[in-house]
A and B are shown apart, each in its own frame.
Chain A
């Protein structure tokens, strides 16, 4: 640090000060008050105009939209498969049988999720005929009942702990809602345990069948109180295995040619893989 540099620093500081406020010309940041006023006014008007223009085009665009059905549905031709309880960071469920706190989040999540499926809630829904698509023309769209009893041991009716306290946890699997989707064939959700000697998998309704009567979906606005069909997966670990029991379960949609279950990029398109770790 030589003297010269210091001096130039002081100079530049003085220059900066003068730039920030110059008392002789009354300039603030290189502009007088009037100049600032004009340029701000210009940009105010300019941006005001742009905002108006943008709002107008947005408004015009929104007018072209249909409230009930989105304009394009080609981005989601085939539904994804998701599980409940809702995973947070990864598709891994880990709990200890002896510690209710460790699985309380899961069971609460399941109870909440199944609330719309209460018998009370379903009173107003239609009991539809099994095995066929229900295409409707409106203006009133019916929603079919999904008796929670179909989930048998995982319905939460008999066992409010959904099997977690017994070491046989339940996971719910569901297909994503897509407006207008009509599955072909007899769609079902097939779940297999990746390690069969440690754990067996049972699905409810039996075979994991998804009834066609829940299709097609007509959208949030028209199809009020629509209930998605669910499939429950219950894992039963072999008694013989060690204190920490682990199993990876893979579920996919099967039996319907137009529902994809194989995509290189999308690991959740028509399939889902999750892992359960149960400690004693």
Chain B
């Protein structure tokens, strides 16, 4: 509970003063300025990265960092810089010390109410001691019990959170990273934290980039920037300056991203917190968190209860003064009434209910870091989801093929349960050969038992996709490659945009075949014929336009399309011929076009269904991705974020053949795809406008900062926002969101730190379970609270009537505690296991402003109606016992003064018998016990009616076994407390006659019948008066 707040209040500067800041004099004035500056810093961090190193020439770069581009820094210089800038590490998010976390648990939210209660008790006891020596210790004990309850519950929830943090810890990868630097011309391995600005660094495939680098040379270097930008595709890196935006330009590598293949050299331009990654991490720590919805609800509840307690207390304070009690007595009454309103057991109940749900969610792969976040997902009205990995499988898969002038669909499901295609065609035979042979990807060793789709591969994503596809649907690529040995190849590069390899046709044949794959338009340029059903035909315009159509169609699906062609080399190139790929000594024209294969990172199987469920649950799903708009839109359509039939403004424009931005009204379209560059120029009003007017929104090409802006925009509109993400780039948004959801498998540590919840299986569908559980627990907490609060009335009224009517006290402190902390506990918790009354995923998310956890209707029901019946049941039992023992109700009024007088030992009852003080006290305590038992009896009925808020119990059934156990448990506990020998000494509870158990049963039945009638009326008159006044 506490963690969130703490994170928000400490800014990175405060926690980890950088050397420069340290030098500042720490006067008060300065500090104020510093705070202002800090806020400015945060705003600053939200802006885009400003950097010009990528625009510099190598000479400028060399002079800027005063480093030799071949020799690197001298070790002395490096040491000097290291001393100046500090180590190259991200400052970890400030974690509050354990004891502060513990104190947060102890004094946060609900606990404070109990603490105030405890303090009031001690005050009352102090006053009593001060006034007269011989006092009952009730107030002292009550104070102690309250304190103990808070401490135990505090320890419990602290333990719970500590446990989930421990699971977090285990995620951390503690392997120390090494970096290869060149200093004084020597290559040395040093620990990453010793890398300094200006260092010449060498990276190779598999390395983690040790700092922000400006490349000076590279060899086929590709980096995976997904953790920073969210783009799943590895990007090639070279020394050329290609883009104004430092995030897009080719010559910059970023700290903590991965080098996938190739090698590169670069100059370090930033280290530690000043790297792009570091700035994002700082931005994350600098964000101020809002309260969780449930914390707000509990606060609201505390306000209600406190107002009620003070109102009751003060009115009875006045009344008791009017009745002639002394000031001190009246103050004691005041405190007593206020404390009696504190639901002692509720804190524990709420904590246990949330814990149970958190456990249940953990079993369904949602690990909740923050107990209060359990409910937040239930209140969520907007989900901003990442694309890669969450909605998609995060692996390129072949989706479509085009050959024989037909588009075939490949099987993209995770378990390969989809349909097959025309495998009989001779064209397919050739296509499969090219895809398998002209392919540098390979399976890693020792994976024979792993299903093909799950096998790890080397090589880039598209080649791996082809490899797996061929292995799956054609035959073993390994055998194929053994049979058709590769004799020469030209690897793919971004200038020629194709890949070519030459193989032997068959092992024993003498002829070679040239195979080529690459960008479709490039491939087509090479071809003069095409293959149809295994036969070559000369290329004609019709085929070209067919090709164009197919290419456009597949591209429009957001898929990456590759073209394939081949050429049977004439026998003039026999076996053993030396093919020279530098100076080409073989024909590379008039090839035969075979077909197209397109690939996509396909959506996860469960996602469309989950998105559908979200939609029917009234939750808006927004896709926020760094990917291209077309791909984003295709996936959005695939998973239903943009539903079938709705069209974006662009679609409408193309349909009506008009340019966008002119005649079509963008508001007319429900769906919209917003490009990051457009978003950059938008004012927050414009963004609000978009978020308000479109139901289906996709943000493409967004930067981490923009993700944050989107989340803030949604929150401005009053939505409770859930954000999913796995990369470091997502962490500010995760932190800012009402509930941040990180990915357990693919997620980075930073994102897991910032999140409130972790999806252990990275599956969007798990969020839906989370939403369901969250909504259920909100409903069930309502029921639990309604149940617990109800018994407050039979607990308070005895004291009130004791004051007003001067009757012997019908219910004492000990018995009240027995109810609140004993018998009521298990039944209240059992309501957390109650199943939903209706399909909770078919209603809109609750409105956090109007749909409160505890509202006046709940209080009115619990206190005004059911509680009153319960109180009458208790009083009836009380009067029965006193009357049957000789004190008739009429004789009890005003008896209090004598009854309480210890030296009045011959108090006469209605029959002329005389009672000593102790004898009538035993009778009184017997009444307390009976009143207690009566409350248990009426709470049976209360528990059953609290199972449902609208349905009849007969519709809901009694399937909740824990609840049945709860009823038994409370009954046995009550009997145990009453009948165990020695209880008269320990708790002053006395055995009851069986008949006295029955006194409350008519009232129990009345409660049940009354509530069934009420609910029946509500069901038959939806929206009627009774629903408006009593449906909580």
Contact = CB atoms under 8 A, between A and B. Distances in A.
Interface string A158-179: 0000000000000000101111
B914 A70 contact: no
Given A39-B1029, A176-B913, A80 B883 contact: no
Interface stretch (B105-113, B751-759, B861-869): B861-869
B903 A75 contact: no
Contact of A178 (B872, B903, B914, B993): B914
B905 A82 contact: yes
Residue among A38, A88, A91, A266 with the most chain B CB within 10 A? Answer: A266
Interface in A81-102: 81-82, 87-91
For chain A, the bracket of interface size reads 35 or more
Contacts of B913: 70, 73, 76, 176-179, 219
A265 to B, nearest CB: 5
Contacts of B908: 177
A62 interface: yes
A70 B911 contact: yes
Interface stretch (B275-283, B447-455, B603-611, B916-924): B916-924
Interface in B872-886: 872, 875-876, 879-880, 883-886
Contact of B918 (A42, A174, A178, A265): A265
B702 interface: no
Contacts of A272: 905
Contacts of A91: 903
B526 interface: no
A248 to B, nearest CB: 16
A57 B914 contact: no
Given A39-B1029, A71-B885, A57 B903 contact: no
Given A50-B868, A265-B918, A269-B916, A42 B885 contact: no
Interface in A29-45: 38-39, 42-43
B997 to A, nearest CB: 15
Contacts of B869: 50
B836 interface: no
A114 to B, nearest CB: 16
Nearest to B990: A75
A57 B906 CA distance: 31
A268 interface: yes
A80 B912 contact: no
Contacts of B917: 266, 268
B893 to A, nearest CB: 14
B868 A47 contact: yes
Contacts of B911: 68-70, 179, 219-221
Interface in A239-266: 263, 265-266
Contact of B906 (A42, A82, A89, A226): A82
A82 B911 CA distance: 18
A58 B905 contact: no
Given A61-B883, A263-B918, A50 B926 contact: no
Nearest to A226: B912
B981 interface: no
A90 B919 contact: no
A54 interface: yes
A267 interface: yes
A79 B916 CA distance: 8
B162 interface: no
A264 B879 CA distance: 28
B903 A88 contact: yes
Contacts of A88: 903
A90 B926 CA distance: 26
Nearest to A179: B913
Contact of A76 (B865, B876, B919): B919
Contacts of A57: 876, 1002
B900 to A, nearest CB: 13
B443 interface: no
A4 to B, nearest CB: 16
B909 interface: yes
B945 to A, nearest CB: 16
Contacts of B912: 177, 179, 217, 219-221, 223, 226
A81 B869 CA distance: 41
Contacts of A266: 916-919
B889 interface: yes
A61 B1002 CA distance: 13
B1032 to A, nearest CB: 15
B1029 A42 contact: yes
Nearest to A220: B912
Contacts of A221: 911-912
Interface residues of B, number: 38
Nearest to A264: B985
A72 B885 contact: yes
Contacts of A263: 918
Interface string B905-942: 11011111111111100110010000000000000000
Contacts of B993: 72
A263 B914 CA distance: 18
A79 B879 CA distance: 24
A157 interface: no
A265 B988 CA distance: 12
Given A53-B1006, A87-B903, A220-B911, A176 B922 contact: no
Interface string B990-1016: 000100000000100010000000000
A186 B231 CA distance: 105
Nearest to A67: B911
A192 B334 CA distance: 47
Interface in B313-361: none
Contacts of B1025: 38
A9 interface: no
A62 B913 CA distance: 19
A65 interface: yes
B364 interface: no
B131 to A, nearest CB: 14
B914 A79 contact: yes
Contacts of A79: 914
Given A38-B1025, A71-B885, A220-B911, A50 B916 contact: no
Contacts of A174: 906
Contacts of A47: 868
Contacts of B879: 58, 61
A87 B905 CA distance: 10
B883 to A, nearest CB: 6
A46 interface: yes
B886 A70 contact: yes
Contacts of A226: 912
A71 B884 contact: yes
Contacts of A38: 1025, 1029
Nearest to A79: B914
A221 B719 CA distance: 75
B857 to A, nearest CB: 11
Given A39-B1029, A50-B869, A75-B926, A176 B864 contact: no
Contacts of A70: 884-886, 909-911, 913
B77 interface: no
Contacts of B885: 70-73, 75
B490 to A, nearest CB: 70
Nearest to B1025: A38
A46 to B, nearest CB: 7
B485 interface: no
Nearest to B922: A75
A15 B865 CA distance: 30
Nearest to A53: B1006
Given A70-B911, A80-B915, A82-B916, 14 more contacts: A50-B868, A61-B880, A62-B889, A70-B886, A70-B913, A72-B884, A75-B923, A76-B919, A174-B906, A176-B914, A176-B915, A220-B911, A221-B911, A263-B918
5 contacts: A38-B1029, A54-B872, A75-B885, A80-B916, A178-B914
Q: Which 10 A-B pairs have the closest CB atoms?
A: A220-B912, A80-B916, A266-B918, A176-B914, A70-B886, A71-B884, A82-B906, A268-B905, A268-B916, A82-B905
